[in-house]
């Protein structure tokens, strides 16, 4: 079954690793956890077990951040992952839930239209009308299901939800109980229940977290990759994984193209060239690691179906321009300037320069 779905959940995709870790893990596990905090960290950051088993890294970044995140989940506080777009907030939240509870699907997607039911519970109206309020007519939210089973509930884009809906989490997080007044009962969370929420830095101010809610979360800010090499490594890894799941044949000579895309993105993002000598204007788009991954993946598909299977500058030029030029007027100026003052001056980038000129 896993083979046919487009994107298996982490706990299915990495079922073998999780099973092995669970088997080899002899450290104490917090109540309700599938693995010890140590093993959860190994699952996320990768590593070699004492018997030589290799665990692939899922997240590439500061070890301490992940240790603090995992430690938070073992306390009675919830975890908030904050960061600019594309810094793997959703990705880390999915893998943490998979490793801690073996289930990453108890998910609420926050939007401006999210209603309180989505966090608490709703009703099956046919049954409600026929039988009145009953346990059978109640439709539990993912959060309620996580409370009942002692698992991790995930809330995506917490700050996009209206404030009053966010605040319905306060009781859940502080009392660890969810009252159901219609039935005169409550659901008490089993051990192992916790919440991982993600929020986007750029959305800050849309619906700020109330301070009452903020006090119930430990916040971890996921950074952009510190160095070009680290970012190249992340992109190369993810592109390879995505390629495998899309069943793309191997493309050759990808790494140079990846390094170039990452360099362009980092330079434009930071507003200066890698050698620090030239100041640049930044475009409006985010140019995140996630976008670099998708530019390369699209390039690989082009190379596979319309080229000779080798990833070349022409395969990524269109994607790069598309990612940079979000605002057709101001970003185009930024891009032109970058192309003429930076790209053109690098002799080893001449193919790339020509390819970019063609798509403009």
Ligand X SMILES: Nc1ncnc2c1ncn2[C@@H]1O[C@H](COP(=O)(O)OP(=O)(O)OP(=O)(O)O)[C@@H](O)[C@H]1O
Give residues in contact with ligand X (CB under 6 A).
59-61, 83, 85-91, 198, 200, 225, 234, 238, 289-290, 293
Contact (CB, 8 A) for 268 and 334: yes
Pairing of strands 177-180, 185-188: antiparallel
Closest to ligand X by CB, 59 or 353: 59
Burial of 236 per CB tally in 10 Å (0-12, 13-18, 19+): middle
> How many residues bind to Mg ion according to rule CB under 5 A?
2
Closest to ligand X by CB, 20 or 242: 242
Instruction: Select from ligand X, Mg ion, none the partner in contact with residue 302, using the beta carbon and a kind-dependent cut-off of 5 to 8 Å.
Output: none
Binding mask 63-92 for Mg ion (x = CB under 5 A): --------------------------xx--
CA distance 36 to 159: 30
Closest separation in Å from C-beta 89 to Mg ion: 5
Closest separation in Å from C-beta 159 to ligand X: 11
CA distance 210 to 230: 35
Closest separation in Å from C-beta 41 to ligand X: 14
Identify any residues that bridge with 197 across adjacent strands, giving them in sequence order: 80, 155
Q: Where are the beta strands (DSSP E) in 251-294?
A: none
Instruction: Select from ligand X, Mg ion, none the partner in contact with residue 289, using the beta carbon and a kind-dependent cut-off of 5 to 8 Å.
Output: ligand X
On the CB side of 35, CA atoms within 13 Å amount to 29
Closest to Mg ion by CB, 36 or 288: 288
Instruction: Select from ligand X, Mg ion, none the partner in contact with residue 43, using the beta carbon and a kind-dependent cut-off of 5 to 8 Å.
Output: none
CA distance 344 to 327: 23
Closest separation in Å from C-beta 286 to ligand X: 8
111 in contact with Mg ion (CB under 5 A): no
Q: Residue 28: which residues within 8 A CB-CB, separation 6 or more?
A: 36
CA distance 63 to 70: 11
Kindly list the residues in this chain that would bind Mg ion in the complex (CB under 5 A): 89-90
């Amino acid at each position: 079954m896993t083979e046919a779905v487009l994107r298996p959940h982490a706990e299915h995709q990495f079922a073998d690793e999780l099973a092995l870790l669970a088997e080899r893990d002899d450290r104490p596990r917090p109540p309700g956890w599938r693995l010890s905090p140590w093993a959860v960290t190994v699952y996320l950051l990768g590593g070699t077990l004492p018997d030589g088993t290799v665990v692939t890294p899922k997240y590439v970044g500061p070890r301490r951040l992940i240790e603090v995140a995992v430690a938070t989940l073992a306390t009675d506080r919830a975890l908030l992952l904050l960061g600019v777009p594309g810094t793997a907030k959703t990705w880390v939240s999915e893998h943490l839930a998979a490793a801690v509870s073996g289930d990453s699907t108890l998910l609420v997607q926050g939007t401006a239209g999210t209603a309180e039911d989505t966090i608490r519970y709703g009703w099956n109206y046919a049954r409600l009308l026929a039988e009145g309020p009953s346990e059978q007519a109640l439709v539990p939210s993912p959060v309620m299901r996580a409370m009942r089973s002692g698992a991790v509930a995930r809330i995506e884009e917490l700050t996009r939800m209206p404030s009053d809906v966010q605040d319905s989490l306060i009781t859940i997080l502080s009392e660890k109980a969810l009252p159901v007044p219609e039935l005169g009962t409550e659901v008490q969370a089993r051990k192992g229940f916790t919440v991982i929420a993600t929020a986007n830095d750029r959305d800050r101010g849309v619906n700020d977290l109330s301070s009452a809610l903020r006090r119930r979360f430990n916040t971890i800010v996921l950074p952009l990759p510190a160095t070009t090499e680290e970012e190249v490594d992340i992109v190369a890894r993810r592109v390879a994984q995505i390629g495998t799941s899309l069943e793309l044949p191997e493309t050759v000579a990808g790494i140079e193209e990846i390094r170039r895309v990452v360099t362009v993105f980092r330079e434009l993002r930071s507003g200066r060239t890698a050698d620090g000598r030239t100041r640049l204007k930044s475009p409006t788009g985010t140019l995140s690691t996630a976008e670099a991954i998708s530019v390369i993946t699209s390039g690989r598909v082009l190379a596979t179906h319309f080229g000779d299977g080798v990833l070349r500058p022409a395969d990524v030029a269109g994607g790069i321009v598309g990612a940079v030029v979000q605002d057709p007027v101001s970003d185009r100026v930024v891009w032109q300037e970058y192309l003429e003052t930076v790209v053109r001056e690098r002799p080893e980038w001449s193919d790339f320069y020509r390819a970019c000129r063609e798509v403009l």
